[in-house]
């Protein structure tokens, strides 16, 4: 009998209730829930044959496709722990995760990902005779961590130094999937566009699990392109969870086609996460979609969602919304400060960091997760995120929150998106560096943008230097990787204005 406390039981349940309903659509076609469940059972058998035992880690080098979803649930059915990693990571990056996770085996979704196929070839992985997968078997070291009830370990984007694996339990993921489903009002009649990577928490919990629990059809896209997104929205997608960069690039794509609105779509819900909203940009997006743009806040360690909005179109609210049901939020602020570190407690908080009990103890205290994000709660109880604690810029003794500067620059009609960071200067203060993505960097007038920003920002918040670029370094989720900006544009930084 299937353990109902495990995430794979959700698929088994849907297969029993609605076997012929479409569960997954990817580039290879569509798959019913009955087929989905059968694939999971077969894949779980292969993992057991490869030696996977309860508590063993199964590394999945993947991009979005049916195979990725199948092996995440198959690890659960085999009693093992899924460790999904994005195939676009470099070989050394994957090697560091392998060394830390000590997996029993590694599965490569080689048919849907050219990068996964390359990694599989480099590892001399074997074709395991079950669809488009390759596998290598390893002999992990004895386990030195408490992994009871853990379903998935996710290694967080942008981690430097020692790898940091977030242990998420079956209960964490089921709780988060239900929250996401209820927040969006998802039903079996929905068609969800899934371009957010399943190897990251937003795609895993808020998309994959929410679709599985609700019975919605999940259309998986391996990689984001504005053209494919536009086609999917015109092709019947009803729910589109995304990050701001995806919305910005879609609107730019539409503008290049002479379109100012999304016409003829069945879309009923659209959301933005992973970055604060600014009023002008939110209004522009709502005008494009003809729908309210919902916002939310979460992180890997909180199994995605902490808070979320249910606003009507045109609402001036740019917060991340109130805490979701069953979740507590408080602000740890110094006396007189206008913001402080966001702390959260509830069934969404991770079990801990894999093989890092000291770091876990620093991060989770008395059940409260210290997020490292700076925020505040307004009179209505809505959470406002003002930035990352480690990204706070101190200029001339004043606190500068990068999202506020980014919001002002994003208001300019020729700016697609931007990223702002601080950098120490020769006199010990911090300069504000703005990297602005635009259509034609060579023709872009940075002096005009400086003048534009001066009308919207206090003197100490204005960028010291503005760099016009054609693209910004980004994670597979579309989230801008600020820690890579200095290296990516080192040649520009060394040039004198």
Written as one string, the DSSP assignment of 328-376 is EEEEE--TT-S-EEEEEEETTS-SEETT-HHHHHHHEETTEEEEEEEEE
Q: Specify the residue for token string 């300069």.
A: 431
Q: What is the pLDDT of residues 12-41, one digit of tens each?
A: 999 999 999 999 999 999 999 999 999 999
State yes or no: pLDDT of 134 exceeds 90. no
Nearest to 457 by CA among 421, 410, 405, 493: 405
Domain presence at residue 304: yes
Q: CA-to-CA distance for 278 and 453, rounded, in angstroms?
A: 14
Q: What is the pLDDT of residues 197-249, one digit of tens each?
A: 999 999 999 999 999 999 999 999 998 899 999 999 999 999 999 988 789 88
Q: Is 129 exposed, middle or buried (0-12, 13-18, 19+ CB in 10 A)?
A: exposed
* Residue pLDDT, tens place only, 411-436: 898 999 999 999 888 766 789 999 99
Distances (CA, A) of 479 to 109, 201, 243, 433, 443: 23, 12, 7, 18, 26
Q: What is the pTM of this model?
A: 0.85
Final residue of a domain: which of 389, 414, 431?
A: 389
Question: CATH code at 412?
Answer: 3.30.300.30
357, 389, 421: which is the final residue of a domain? Answer: 389
- pLDDT given at position 158: 43
**Domain limits for position 398:** 392-493
What local confidence, expressed as pLDDT, does residue 246 receive?
86
Residue 363 is assigned to a structural domain of this protein: yes
Give percent above pLDDT 90 in the chain: 70
Total domain count, the chain: 3
pLDDT of the residue at 130: 58
Q: Which of 126, 144, 162 delimits the end of a domain?
A: 144
Same domain, 235 and 376: yes
Residue 32 token pair = 């019913």
For residue 30, what is the domain's CATH number? Answer: 3.40.50.980
Distance CA 479, CA 483 (A): 12
> Where residue 136 falls among pLDDT bands split at 50, 70, 90?
confident
Whether 3 maps to a domain, the answer reads: no
Tokens of 447: 């002096």
Is 84 in the same domain as 99?
yes
In angstroms, rounded to a whole number, what is the distance separating the alpha carbons of residues 47 and 105? 8
342, part of any domain: yes
Tell whether 154 is covered by a domain. no
Q: In this structure, are 377 and 285 located in the same domain?
A: yes
Measured distance CA(268)–CA(412) in Å, rounded:
28
Look up residue 459 and give its DSSP letter: G
Residue 158 domain flag? no
Task: Please check whether residues 84 and 198 belong to one and the same domain.
Answer: no
Whether pLDDT at 319 is above 80: yes
Are both 115 and 188 inside the same structural domain? no
Question: Is residue 159 a part of any domain in this protein?
Answer: no
161 occurs within a structural domain: no
Q: 209 near 180, Cβ under 8 Å?
A: yes
Does the pLDDT at position 133 exceed 90?
A: no
pLDDT score at 143: 79
Pair (335, 473) in one structural domain: no
Angstrom CA distances, 493 to 393, 405, 425, 433, 497, stand at 18, 19, 12, 9, 9
d(CA 23, CA 204): 15
Is residue 477 predicted with pLDDT exceeding 80?
A: no
Looking at the fold, whether 365 and 482 belong to one and the same domain comes out as no
Which of 46, 32, 36, 35 lies closest to 8, judged by CA? 36
Question: How many whole angstroms separate alpha carbon 111 and alpha carbon 321?
Answer: 40
Return the percentage of the chain with pLDDT > 70, whole number.
95
Confidence band (pLDDT; 50, 70, 90) for 193? very high
- pLDDT exceeds cutoff 50 at 159: no
The pLDDT-based confidence of 129 (bands split at 50, 70, 90) is low
Task: Name, of 134-138, 242-246, 359-363, 460-464, the range with top average pLDDT.
Answer: 359-363
**Among 432, 479, 438, 478, CA closest to 459:** 432
CATH number at residue 249: 3.40.50.12780
Backbone angles phi, psi at 326, to 5 degrees: 85, 5
């Amino acid at each position: 009998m299937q353990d109902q406390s495990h995430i794979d039981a959700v698929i088994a349940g849907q297969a029993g209730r609605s076997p012929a309903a479409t569960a997954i659509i990817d580039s290879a076609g569509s798959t019913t829930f009955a087929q989905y469940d059968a694939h999971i059972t077969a894949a779980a058998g292969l993992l057991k044959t490869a030696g996977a035992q309860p508590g063993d880690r199964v590394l999945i080098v993947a991009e979005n496709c049916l195979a990725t979803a199948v092996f995440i649930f198959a690890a659960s059915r085999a009693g093992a722990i899924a460790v999904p990693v994005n195939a676009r990571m470099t070989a050394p990056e994957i090697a560091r995760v392998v060394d830390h996770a000590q997996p029993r085996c590694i599965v490569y979704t080689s048919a849907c990902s050219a990068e996964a196929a390359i990694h599989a070839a480099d590892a001399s992985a074997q074709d395991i005779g079950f669809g488009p997968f390759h596998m290598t078997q390893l002999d992990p070291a004895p386990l030195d961590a408490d992994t009871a009830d853990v379903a998935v370990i996710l290694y967080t984007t942008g981690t430097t130094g020692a790898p940091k694996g977030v242990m998420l339990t079956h209960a964490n993921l089921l709780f988060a999937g239900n929250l996401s489903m209820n927040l969006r009002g998802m039903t079996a009649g929905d068609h969800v566009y899934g371009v957010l990577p399943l190897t990251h928490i937003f795609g895993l919990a808020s998309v994959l699990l929410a679709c599985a629990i609700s019975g919605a059809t999940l259309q998986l896209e391996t990689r984001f392109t504005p053209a494919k997104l536009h086609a999917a929205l015109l092709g019947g997608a009803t729910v589109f969870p995304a990050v701001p960069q995806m919305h910005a690039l879609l609107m730019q794509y539409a503008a290049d086609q002479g379109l100012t609105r999304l016409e003829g779509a069945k879309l009923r819900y659209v959301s933005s996460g992973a970055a604060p909203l600014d009023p002008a940009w939110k209004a522009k997006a709502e005008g494009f979609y003809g729908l309210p743009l919902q916002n939310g806040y979460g992180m890997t360690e909180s199994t995605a969602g902490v808070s979320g909005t249910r606003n009507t179109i045109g609402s001036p609210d740019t917060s991340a919304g109130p805490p979701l049901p069953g979740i507590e939020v408080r602000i740890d602020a110094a006396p007189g400060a206008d913001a402080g570190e966001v702390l959260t407690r509830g069934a969404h908080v991770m079990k801990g960091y894999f093989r890092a009990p000291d770091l876990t103890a620093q991060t989770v205290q008395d059940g409260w997760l210290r997020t490292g994000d700076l925020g505040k709660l307004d009179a209505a109880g809505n959470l406002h995120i003002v930035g990352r604690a480690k990204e706070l810029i101190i200029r001339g003794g004043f606190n500068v929150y990068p999202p506020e500067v980014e919001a002002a620059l994003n208001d300019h009609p020729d700016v697609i998106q931007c990223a702002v960071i601080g950098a120490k200067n020769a006199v010990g203060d911090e300069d504000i560096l703005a990297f602005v993505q635009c259509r034609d960097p060579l023709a872009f007038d940075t002096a005009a943008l400086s003048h534009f920003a001066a009308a919207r920002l206090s003197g100490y918040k204005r960028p010291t230097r503005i760099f016009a670029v054609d693209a910004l370094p980004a994670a597979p989720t579309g989230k801008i990787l600020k820690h890579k900006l200095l290296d990516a544009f080192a040649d520009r930084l060394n040039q004198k204005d």
